Structure formats: structure tokens, C-alpha cells
Amino acid sequence: MKISLTDREADLMQVLWDHGPSLVSEVRIRLADPLAYTTVLTVLRILESKGYVGHTEEGRVHRYFTTVEQQTARKSALRHLTDKLFEGSSELLMTHLVSDQKLSAEQVQRLRKILGAQRGRSKR
């Protein structure tokens, strides 16, 4: 499933992933940027039209919830980034990430463990 989110849409989705089903006013107060109620509502409606969120009615208000898993959205965004900026090469992306960051010894060890597990799966 290809998921495409603008920065603003991703911010609202993050609130819903972190806090679960929420009213527009609840999403609004949890955002880092102050946005008008109508702006938050508009973005939620756009997300709903894309199929990424749904809502339930609670009297006169709507409670919005995600319909896509955060992990699915992450994979889609990473796939898009890899295709667009790294010529479709996961290796090129990984090389850039590792060489561009100051990783602690613990982080390097965790990455080695993940890569070792991946190598074990690919040999099967």
C-alpha cells in the first residue's frame, strides 16, 4: 500500500498514532504548531478522503482514528525516499545514514545485530 502524507498530514497522523482516537479539539491541542480548529478539521477530512483515517460520531462531534498502521506508513515513506533520492538502493540509503550520523557504540551494535539477523534470513 502506497501512503503519501504531507508534513502537516504526518503531524496529525502522529497525534492519532500516539494518542489513539481523538476529537478535532484534542488533536489540535496536541500539535506542536498552533493551528486553527478549522485547519485541523480540514486536514483530518483530507486524510479521511485518502482513506488514512476514519471517524465515529459522538453527538455533534466526530472522533477520528487511523485506518493505517504507523509501520505501514513508515515503510511506504522509506520506499518513496529510497526510490526518489537513492536510486532505489537500500544500500546507498543505509550507507548515507550510517556515515552521516555520529552513532554510539551501542547503536552500532544494535545495527550489527539487525544486519546479522537479516543475513541469516536471506541464507534460508
Question: pLDDT digits over 76-121, tens only?
Answer: 999 999 999 999 998 898 888 888 778 888 988 998 898 888 877 7
Alpha carbons within 13 A on the beta-carbon side of 44 = 27
What pLDDT sits at residue 119? 74
Distance CA 93, CA 77 (A): 13
Distance CA 30, CA 41 (A): 14
- The residue with cell 502537516 is 8
Buried b (16+ CB within 10 A) or exposed e, 56-79: eeeeeebebebebeeeebeebeee
Question: If you average pLDDT over every residue of the chain, what do you get?
Answer: 92
What pLDDT sits at residue 123? 65
Indicate whether 36 pLDDT > 70: yes
- Say which residue, 16 or 107, is predicted with more confidence: 16
User: What is the value of pTM for the model shown?
Assistant: 0.81
What pLDDT sits at residue 94? 85
Strand, helix or coil for residue 3 = coil
Between the alpha carbon of residue 3 and those of residues 18, 36, 77, 98, the distances in Å are: 18, 25, 7, 26
